[in-house]
Amino acid sequence: MRAPTVRRPQATAGVLVVLALVLGQWLHQQLPERADASRPFEEPVAVGGTASLRSGDVEVLSVDGAPSVARKNGPVLLSPGLFVAVEFTFTPRGESSSLRYGELRDNSGRVLPFFGSSGRSSIDCVGRLVDRPTRCLAVVEADPASLAGAGLAVAPSDIDERWDSMAVVDLGIDADDVTEWSARKQFLDLPQAGVMTRTEAP
């Protein structure tokens, strides 16, 4: 005669659903929000300082502005507002890399992105040589009223700046700067971007 089989109670579908919901809620509380997790690592920097990004170092050299600007051998661009030019160096680390994305963060909380090395708002920063600084230039056209207290962010990707690091520059612009720049009659002669010579390098 066979011994009786001991039957253990099986978990019902309802219990499994409850366990899954509890586990999902716990994971949601433990893990960062998707938007936060995919946000770039921001490295703050002021004029004269250096920000260390994953792909290289950004040293901010100067900030200037005027109603009109001109690149070497290029036309003069005239704005009903102001152009702000930020000169900086980028020293690639590990491999050649570039900074292709810029955004102005104005004093009313707006984020104004720009891409590419041509156009009225542009970023020109191609790091061709590892461990050699490249002279870079970001130019952005903006409403003068939005500039006092504004910042500039630059990052490697012009497609998706998430999962990377970006330098966030405190431009140090105040109302007096805006007034002075707005009164300029001569165009601002923009420096030319490119790999710096050993005598130019900081």
pLDDT winner (highest mean) among 89-103, 109-123, 133-147: 133-147
The pLDDT confidence band at residue 16, using thresholds 50, 70 and 90, is low
Q: What is the CATH number of domain 41-195?
A: 2.60.40.1240
As given in the structure block, the two tokens for residue 38 are 């995919």
Q: Looking at per-residue confidence, does 164 or 81 come out higher?
A: 81
pLDDT digits (tens, 9 = 90+) for 161-183: 555 789 999 999 999 999 999 99
What is the pLDDT of the chain when averaged over all its residues?
A: 84
- Asked if pLDDT for residue 58 goes beyond 50, the answer is yes
Q: What pLDDT does 136 receive?
A: 97
Check residue 106 and report its DSSP letter. -
Q: What pLDDT does 132 receive?
A: 93
Instruction: Give the C-alpha separation, 3 to 1, whole Å.
Output: 7
How many other C-beta atoms can be found within 10 angstroms of the C-beta atom of residue 191?
A: 17
pLDDT digits (tens, 9 = 90+) for 20-55: 665 556 544 554 544 444 455 899 999 999 999 999
The mean pLDDT of 1-8, rounded to a whole number, is 55
pTM exceeding the 0.95 threshold for the entire prediction: no
Which regions of 47-164 does DSSP assign to beta strands (E)? 50-52, 56-70, 76-92, 97-98, 101-105, 111-115, 122-124, 126-127, 134-142, 151-155
Q: What pLDDT does 128 receive?
A: 85
Q: Is 193 exposed, middle or buried (0-12, 13-18, 19+ CB in 10 A)?
A: buried
As given in the structure block, the two tokens for residue 48 are 């004269």
